[in-house]
Amino acid sequence: MRKTRREFLGTVSSAAALAALPPVSRARSGGLGSAVGTTSDPLGVRPDFPVVDEHVYLDGAYITPSPRQAVAAAQAFLEKKSTNPISLGDMLAETDAARRKFARLIGASEPEIGMLFATSDGENILTRALDLGPGDNVVIDDLHYETTFILYQQLAESVGVEVRTVKAVDGQASVEAFAEMVDDRTRLVSVSWISHQNGYRHDLKGLAELAHAHDAYLYADAIQGIGMLDLDVKEVGIDVLTSGTYKWLLGGYGVAPFYVREELLDLVEVDRFGSLQIDEDLGDHRYQLHRDGRKYGYATLGFGAVVQLSAALDYLLRVGVHNIEAHTVELAHRLHHGLAAQGHAVWTPADNPSAIVTFEPGQPVERVRSDLEAARIRVSLKEGGAKIRVGVALFNTAEEIDALLGVTESWI
């Protein structure tokens, strides 16, 4: 039986074998002339990212390189696998440590965090739990990721749910635009918190209030935001989110933290079962399963990726995401203003509070690619080169933004 939102609502820190990894030396130059603590590197992080010695890497929205500390943790795990494999118990303890760290990062509690394999797992689990059907509608926008369009296309065809899509205007999808499509038959509002297309930052708090006013839930694909931007899930009132870890969380592939607000854990049921959900052996082949976020981890995770994530979370918590946000968003605004002054069409709204900027180079893709390669600049070419997406990471500098602007100026 379906339940509406209103009806429904009515320690071990790390595996011992992975502890005490040696500190990474910060004596290197950091590449491109940066030094720890300088105005070029206000966060003091460049020595931890070897990528800065190879490129002007402005493609964090595609893949954000991992710091040395996270790589060292993953390497240590692999070394143990070859010499003295770590026990499942210790690997699960490290998973719980990562859950606690992620909870701290987003202002949640440990029981509210599960571990999935990919970002798309989360929205699939949630939509199954909501038992959507004819008469129900889901409201999304056209700044979402492809997975969401595929998911709701299938649900529309298979169970008859109505999918309503907000059309972005000038690169943004406002709460007011969503409000025109949300009604009392809306079961779910779903957004990419930060759009992978142009970096538009959705107003999660406003969307949560809108959804809840109509007895609906708010889901966010958060892979393009967490680790780049500060987030307190309690403050904004979001219900469910998922985030892969190979972008701004500085991790690897094959693990994705899954947040479900505590009051909704019973509603968001698991859609598959396995031995790692066991909380207690009741005898006679009967088991009590976990009821908190651990219940979503039904099978063996990529524990190497979990270890890498755990170290990356330590890194982010030490640097401070609020510091990362202040630094990267300022650089993104520097780029946006420079591009606009040059006369480029910028798809990202002005003063948008994220670290992603998308614009039109206005030149044939062959020239664009050649000029960028000559300058050793890495960005994402989108739509066959018709658009360029820049993702500013914590290790980037004002000088690197200006280096890109020096290239783009020649395209006018």
Beta-ladder partners of 281: 287
For residue 154 the two structure tokens come to: 């299938």
pLDDT band at 377 (very low <50, low <70, confident <90, very high): very high
Place of tokens 């993104």: 332
In this prediction, residue 24 carries a pLDDT of 32
Sign of the C-alpha dihedral, residues 227, 230, 232, 237?
A: negative
Q: Is the pLDDT of residue 34 over 70?
A: no
Sign of the C-alpha dihedral, residues 245, 247, 248, 252?
A: positive
Beta-ladder partners of 221: 192, 242
Structural contact between residues 76 and 396, judged by C-beta atoms closer than 8 angstroms: no
Region 391-406: what's the mean pLDDT?
Answer: 98
74-98 pLDDT tens trace: 999 999 999 999 999 999 999 999 9
Query: The domain 321-411 belongs to what CATH superfamily?
Result: Aspartate Aminotransferase, domain 1 (3.90.1150.10)
| 119-135 burial code (b ≥16 CB/10 A, e <16) | bbbbbbbbbebbebeee
The DSSP bridge pattern shows strands 56-57 and 286-289 to be unpaired
Place of tokens 């696998």: 81
3 CB neighbour count, 10 Å cutoff: 14
Mean pLDDT across the chain, nearest whole number? 92
Region 190-216: what's the mean pLDDT?
Answer: 98
Residues of CATH 3.40.640.10 domain(s) within the chain?
Answer: 86-318
280-309 pLDDT tens trace: 999 999 999 999 999 999 999 999 999 999
Region 214-228: what's the mean pLDDT?
Answer: 98
Structural contact between residues 267 and 10, judged by C-beta atoms closer than 8 angstroms: no
Structural contact between residues 30 and 78, judged by C-beta atoms closer than 8 angstroms: no
Which helix (DSSP H) or strand (DSSP E) does residue 321 occupy?
helix 321-342
Looking at residue 250, what DSSP letter applies?
Answer: -
Residues of CATH 3.90.1150.10 domain(s) within the chain?
Answer: 321-411
pLDDT band at 8 (very low <50, low <70, confident <90, very high): very low
Q: Which of 10-14, 244-248, 272-276 has the lowest mean pLDDT?
A: 10-14
For residue 64 the two structure tokens come to: 């954000």
pLDDT band at 403 (very low <50, low <70, confident <90, very high): very high
Q: Is the pLDDT of residue 405 over 80?
A: yes
Between helices 146-159 and 119-130, what is the axis angle to 10°? 20
Q: Is the pLDDT of residue 22 over 90?
A: no
pLDDT band at 40 (very low <50, low <70, confident <90, very high): confident
Place of tokens 């968001």: 268
CATH number of this structure's domain 86-318: 3.40.640.10
240-269 pLDDT tens trace: 999 999 999 999 999 999 999 999 999 999
Instruction: Name, in order, each residue with C-beta under 8 angstroms of 75's C-beta and a sequence gap of 6 or more.
Output: none
